[in-house]
Amino acid sequence: MADPMRIRANVVGDSTEVKVLMNHEMETGQRKDAQGKTVPAWFIQSVTATHNGKTVLSAQWGPAVAKNPFLSFRFKGGAKGEKVQITWTDNRGDKRTDEATIS
Amino acid sequence: MNARRRNLLQAGSGMTLLSVLAAAGWLQPNTALAADAWNAAAFETKSMDDTMKALGGGTPVQSKAITFVQTPDIAENGAVVPIGITSTIPNTESIAILIEKNPNTLTAIFDIPPGTEPSISTRVKMGQSSNVYALVKADGKYYVAAKEIKVTLGGCGG
């Protein structure tokens, strides 16, 4: 199981700013190890962010997103104390969901 | 002649079986959808034109309404290049990041539902100095803006 994400959600004006730091190797499948064998690709393919059950952002990623990906975005609405949920799925089918409280 | 006929019949019955399974809910349409959601064809493309074809768009229009924010001109480390893209085009539906000289051009697609600001930032890997394109889909049309980022140390291939 992957390590937890670090999520920060803050109210900025009339919108909520979300910053996410995910823990993931994001292996491209281009690299070779010491024996010259290709390291298989292992990366996050899709990310979904929801707020009150409504999707506020969904993304599809390729292997060129940097290791331990960072993502930031803003959506309208959201109040202090409400929760934002982030879910990612990688190409091995591994999944992780974390949530943060808007502050 | 006969052999071909057998094959056709088999293929036909195979299809029916699949659809029956799907109808019965055995194929779990949800998981199937999740797998489909990742546009493998688009992520495997190796040039801007191919990516546009895979996304089903024509030639994108150059637009000054798309800006790069907090994006360096020179990236010291290609393994971590911050990219921020903001679009002021009304009804922006999605923002994609394309890196011309990476092994695969398409890096990420962000779908922007109504209510979310068309502004995202993330970090990407770049193999070498290259043009980076911000591709924005708004009202079904594609718009693009480019920025050259110089990389002093490659991030792909190590």
In this predicted structure, the answer to whether residue B113 has a pLDDT above a threshold of 90 is: yes
Query: Quick check: B156 and A77 CB within 8 A?
Result: no
**Contact residues on chain B for A73, CB-CB shorter than 8 A:** 110, 116-117, 119-121
Q: Residue B88: what pLDDT?
A: 93
| Ranges assigned E (strand) in B63-115 | 66-69, 74-75, 81-87, 92-99, 106-111
Query: Quick check: A30 and B103 CB within 8 A?
Result: yes
Find the closest chain A residue to B104 by CA distance: A64
Domains and CATH numbers, chain B: 2-37 (no CATH), 40-151 (2.60.40.2470)
Domains and CATH numbers, chain A: 6-101 (2.60.40.10)
Give backbone dihedrals phi and psi of B80, rounded to 5 degrees, phi first.
-140, 95
Q: What is the value of ipTM here, to two decimals?
A: 0.91
In this predicted structure, the answer to whether residue B49 has a pLDDT above a threshold of 60 is: yes
In this predicted structure, the answer to whether residue B73 has a pLDDT above a threshold of 60 is: yes
Could you tell me which residues come within 8 angstroms of residue B8 by beta carbon, excluding any fewer than 6 positions away? none
Query: Quick check: A58 and B113 CB within 8 A?
Result: yes
